[in-house]
Structure 1
Amino acid sequence: MSYQWPMAAQDLFAERYPQMLNLGLPQRDVDAVRAAVEHMWADEPGGWVYEWSARAAAYAGARRHDLAYLAYGWAKFPSLADAAKLTALARQTEQYQLAAPGFPVPFDRRVLNLPHRGALTPVTVHLLGPAGGPVLIASGGLDSWKMDLHPLLVRLALDGGVQVMAFDLPGTGETQVPMTAVGGFELVQGLVEHARSIGNGRVGHFGFSMGGYYAAHSGLTGLVDAAVDLGGPIRDSFTEDNLKKLVFGMADIFGNALGFDHQPQPGELLALLGDYPLDELLAQDRNSPMLVINGADDVHVTQSDTLLFEGRRATDVWLVPDTGHVAASKLPGVVPVIASWLAEHLA
C-alpha cells in the first residue's frame, strides 16, 4: 500500500541539498535538476521523478553507473508512492550492479529469508568489504536506503575495518513487509544471526535516521557488540506534539512506511507508535558500547532523543552544532569519527 500527498518539490531540495552533495553527486548537476523541477508527482517534464531520471539516464549513457544509481535513488525519493517511483528503484538497482565492478571493496548481493511475525520474508542485503572479520549490519532510514548510502557505507568498510551488510528497513526499499517496531526488531535479530555466521562472530549495527532507532535498540538490548545511532528517534520524537511539527513531508514518508494507503492524521500515526518509545530499555543498564550522534538543529528528531544517552556507561554522545538531521551538512567530518569508533570497538 502507498499514497501520494501534497508536497512542494523545492522544499525537498531545501532540506536535502547537503545530503545530495555529500553522498556523491556533482553540485552543478544537482543545481541543474533543482532548476528544472517544478512539481513533485507527475511523471512529465518539470516533475521530480522525470527530471532526476533524465539526469540518471544521461549518466548511464556515459557509463557513469556510479552517478546513475545515485541519481535514480533521488528519482524514487522519498517513497515508492507510484509506478514511476518503482521504475526508478528498479533502474537504480540495475545501475548499482553495473557500477559494482568499480567498487573499491568486494561486493556481493544476496537474498536472505528471515523470520517475520510467524512467517518468512525475503530481505535483500549487500555485502561490502572483505569477509572473515567483524560484520556491521547497516541501514538507512525512511527515505534514504542502502544503495543511496553506498558512499558512506564504503567509507565505514574501508576505515572501520568491517564488512558491511546493508539492508532496507521494513516498509522501505526492497524489503517487502510494512514497518512495525516488533517486526523490525525480529528482522534485525535474523540479520545479526546471519552476520555472526559469516564473519569472526563480532557484529555491530549502524543506523542512519530511522535506522538509528533500530541500531539503538540493538545496542540497548546488547544484541550486538557495538551500535551507532546517527539521527534516530528514540522516545520524545514519537509524541503527538512532535508528529504535528514534522515538516518536509516526513509524516507522510513515515505513513507510507507504516503501510497506510491514505494520508493519515497525527492521531492515526500515533495509534501505531505505542510500541516505539524505548523507555523500558533506557531504564536498564545492559547496553553494548554505543555511539549516538545527531545534528543540533534537527527538525524531525528532538535534541532530547540524543542527549538522553548522556551519562550512560560505554556510550559516547555527540550533538553536532550548526547542522540538521543526521548532521547531513557535516557528514564529511562525522563519517571518519564513526569509522574510527567502529575500528576501536569492533575491529
Structure 2
Amino acid sequence: MFEFPLEPATVFAERALQFAGWGIPEPVISRVRASVDDMWGDGPSSWVPVWRAEALAAEAGEQWLTAALCWGAARFPCLAGPARVQAYERQLACYPKAAAFERWVCEVPYRSGTTPVPVHLYRGDSRSLLVMSGGVDTWKVEVHRTALAAARGMTVAVLDMPGTGESEVPLAADADVILAGAVERIAGHVGAGRTAFVGLSFGGHWAAKLALTGRVHAAVDIGGPVGAAGHTVDLSTLPNGMPGIVGHALGLAALPTADDADRFAADFSLRRQGLLDDPLPVPLLAVNGTADPYLPAEDTAVFHGDPNATAWLVPGAGHCASEHLATLLPAALAWLRFQLERDPRSAADLIRARHTIDPLLAGSPG
C-alpha cells in the first residue's frame, strides 16, 4: 500500500460523471466535492472520512445501495491504507442488502496452483452467460446498473479484474488464464451454452484478449488498452494518478519506476503477443472516444476492417466515451445479445440500438 500525488479536485473533474453513473445521487456527489480537500489524510475534510459520513447516513436510512456505492467511493481509487480497506469491507457488507444476487466463489487454476474468484451472479432468462469486469479502479459493485440491465436477457456474472477488489493475485499479462478459467467454471455452474465477456477500461484488455484467443463466443472491449502499436501506454506519463492506481494493481510497493513502466508497456501489448496479426475467431466490439487521455485511438481503430470486429470510436469523447455511456452501453448489450442469440428479436433490437448511436459516430475515423 502506498500513497501517490492526486488532488481531489482532479478526481472530481474527471470522475464525477462516473460516480453518478455508478448510481451515487448527484446531491451526495456535490456535497462531498464541496467538502473534500485532501485525498489521503484522516481529517474531517479528507476523502475517506467525508465519504464515510455519507455512507453511514445512507445506512442509517436503510438506503443500502447508496451506502454501498458511497463506501465504494470511499475506498476509491485503490486500497492505499487501512481506512480504504475498511471502507471496501463495508461496501461488500452493504451490497447484499441492496440487491438480489448470488455470491459464488470458484477456484481457478493459475500458474502452479489455484486462485479464488468471487463472483456476483444475476440470473437471466436465457442460456447465454455474460461475464463482466471493470478496470483498475472500478470493481464489482460499481457495475451494478450495467449488470442489471444485461441480466434482463442473460445470466450475468461480475468479477474483479486480477489485481483489484477481492482478487488475491496481482495484475499480470498472463491473468487472462484466470478470467478464461472463471468463464468456464461459471458457465458450468449456471448451465450456460454460449459465453461472452464485457470489459470496461482495463477490463477491456481482457475482453479483447479472450476474443482474440477464441475463449468466449463474443466480447465487448470498452476503453481497453491492446498495445496496437507494439507497446501499451507509457505508464509513467499517464494523468490523474493512474501510475499509482496501476502500480497498486501490479502489486508494487511504490510508484512504478522507469523499468516498471517499460516492462508494463511490453508485457501487455497484444501486438507483441502476436494476437493482432490474424483475424478474430469470434465477434468483438471495441468502443472508445478519440480524446481518451490514456489510450491512443489506434487501440480501437486497429479492429476496423476485421470481418469479425465492430469498432465504435466516438469523436471528441474521452476514456470509455464515458460522456455517452448511457447511450452506448445499451447499444453494446444489444450488439452482444445478437451475437449470442441470433434470433429475430435480438436482430430487431440491434437495428434500433444502432439508430441511437449513429449520430454519435458521425465523422468517426475509419
Partner of 1:37: 36
- Partner Cα separation in structure 2 for residue 240 and residue 320 of structure 1: 21
Partner of 1:69: 68
2:163 alignment partner, one of 159, 168, 171: 171
1:319 alignment partner, one of 310, 313, 319: 313
In structure 2, do the counterparts of structure 1 residues 89 and 177 end up closer, same or farther at CA, with 3 Å as the change threshold?
A: same
The percentage of aligned residue pairs carrying the same residue is 37
How big is each residue's C-alpha offset from its partner over 1:191-223, in whole Å with a ceiling of 9 and x where there is no partner?
121133123320000000000000000111111
Say which structure, 1 or 2, has more relative contact order (CA 8 Å, 6+ apart): 1
Where structure 2 has 5 or more consecutive residues not aligned to the other structure, the ranges are: 342-366
Q: Is the 8 A contact 1:240 1:270 kept in 2?
A: no
Q: Which amino acid aligns with 1:190?
A: G
Q: Is the 8 A contact 1:240 1:266 kept in 2?
A: no
Q: Is the 8 A contact 1:222 1:288 kept in 2?
A: yes
Partner of 2:253: 261
- Partner Cα separation in structure 2 for residue 41 and residue 119 of structure 1: 36
SS in structure 2 at match of 1:281: coil
TM-superposed deviation, 1:131:
6.4
How big is each residue's C-alpha offset from its partner over 1:50-99, in whole Å with a ceiling of 9 and x where there is no partner?
11111111111111101111111111110111101100100000110111
Partner of 2:267: 275
In structure 2, do the counterparts of structure 1 residues 303 and 286 end up closer, same or farther at CA, with 3 Å as the change threshold?
A: closer
- Partner Cα separation in structure 1 for residue 20 and residue 160 of structure 2: 22
Of 319-328 and 133-142, more deviation after overlay is shown by: 319-328
Q: Is the 8 A contact 2:280 2:309 kept in 1?
A: no
Q: Which amino acid aligns with 1:118?
A: S
- Partner Cα separation in structure 2 for residue 136 and residue 239 of structure 1: 29
- Partner Cα separation in structure 2 for residue 144 and residue 305 of structure 1: 21
SS in structure 1 at match of 2:116: strand
- Partner Cα separation in structure 2 for residue 208 and residue 55 of structure 1: 27
- Partner Cα separation in structure 1 for residue 233 and residue 126 of structure 2: 46
Q: Which amino acid aligns with 1:72?
A: W
SS in structure 2 at match of 1:70: helix
- Partner Cα separation in structure 2 for residue 238 and residue 38 of structure 1: 40
Q: Is the 8 A contact 2:128 2:155 kept in 1?
A: yes
SS in structure 1 at match of 2:296: coil
How big is each residue's C-alpha offset from its partner over 1:144-175, in whole Å with a ceiling of 9 and x where there is no partner?
011111112211222xx211111001110011
- Partner Cα separation in structure 2 for residue 344 and residue 326 of structure 1: 22
Q: Is the 8 A contact 2:234 2:261 kept in 1?
A: no
1:187 alignment partner, one of 175, 178, 195: 178
Q: Which amino acid aligns with 1:335?
A: L
2:102 alignment partner, one of 91, 103, 108: 108
1:248 alignment partner, one of 229, 240, 244: 240
Partner of 2:4: 5
- TM-score when normalising by structure 1: 0.93
1:84 aligns with 2:88: no
Q: Is the 8 A contact 1:132 1:199 kept in 2?
A: no
Q: Is the 8 A contact 1:3 1:82 kept in 2?
A: yes
Q: Which amino acid aligns with 2:205?
A: Y
- Partner Cα separation in structure 1 for residue 4 and residue 231 of structure 2: 22
Q: Is the 8 A contact 1:195 1:203 kept in 2?
A: no
SS in structure 1 at match of 2:40: coil
How big is each residue's C-alpha offset from its partner over 1:283-321, in whole Å with a ceiling of 9 and x where there is no partner?
012421111001221101111101111111121110123
Q: Is the 8 A contact 2:225 2:232 kept in 1?
A: no
Mapping of residues 206-225 of structure 1, within 5 Å? 206-225=198-217
SS in structure 2 at match of 1:149: helix
SS in structure 1 at match of 2:323: helix
Q: Is the 8 A contact 2:235 2:264 kept in 1?
A: no
Give the number of aligned pairs: 338
TM-superposed deviation, 1:273:
4.2
TM-superposed deviation, 1:23:
2.1
SS in structure 2 at match of 1:219: helix
- Partner Cα separation in structure 1 for residue 284 and residue 207 of structure 2: 9
Q: Is the 8 A contact 2:78 2:248 kept in 1?
A: yes
- TM-score when normalising by structure 2: 0.89
